[in-house]
């Protein structure tokens, strides 16, 4: 069974500081990996995705993520955080077998201090 672990429930960073949100996955085959962001009262917006190829993927809003197969990780990074980045971030894994369901982590709530 596929699963996702986001070990940090809450993270606080200062505006302008760098950010790294951790994500570890468990999946039997090559995973498809995603990061979504959810602002309060909003739906989930796709930040970036990894299917294959270059293990460093670029997304919207200046975010990037690196796929490391040996560590089963897909950490999200941003070099300089803006106050508007405060939101909840979800890592998800999908696969090719039996449809296309996404399994989500429990999310990391990001707070940005001005």
In the complex, the residues that contact another protein under the rule CB under 8 A are 32, 34, 36, 42-46, 49, 51, 90, 94-96, 98-104, 106-107
Sign (positive/negative) of CA torsion 42, 63, 93, 21?
A: negative
Which CB, 85 or 88, lies closer to another protein? 88
Sign of the CA dihedral running 53, 59, 1, 70: positive
- Burial of 108 from C-beta contacts in 10 A (0-12 / 13-18 / 19+): buried
**Which residue number, 81 or 91, has a Cβ lying nearer to another protein?**
91
Q: Closest separation between CB of residue 114 and another protein, Å?
A: 28
> Closest distance between another protein and the C-beta of residue 85, in Å?
19
| CB nearer to another protein: pick between 49 and 77 | 49
């Amino acid at each position: 069974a596929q699963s996702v672990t986001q070990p940090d429930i809450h993270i606080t960073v200062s505006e302008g500081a760098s950010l790294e949100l951790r994500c570890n996955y468990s999946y039997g085959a090559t995973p498809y990996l995603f990061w979504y962001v959810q602002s309060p009262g909003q739906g989930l917006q796709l930040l970036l995705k990894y299917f294959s190829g270059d293990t460093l993927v670029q997304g919207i809003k200046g975010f990037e993520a690196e796929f490391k197969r040996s560590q089963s990780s897909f950490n999200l990074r941003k070099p300089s955080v803006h106050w508007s980045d405060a939101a909840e971030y979800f890592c998800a894994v999908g696969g090719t077998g039996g449809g296309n369901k996404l399994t989500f982590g429990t999310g990391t709530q990001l707070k940005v201090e001005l």
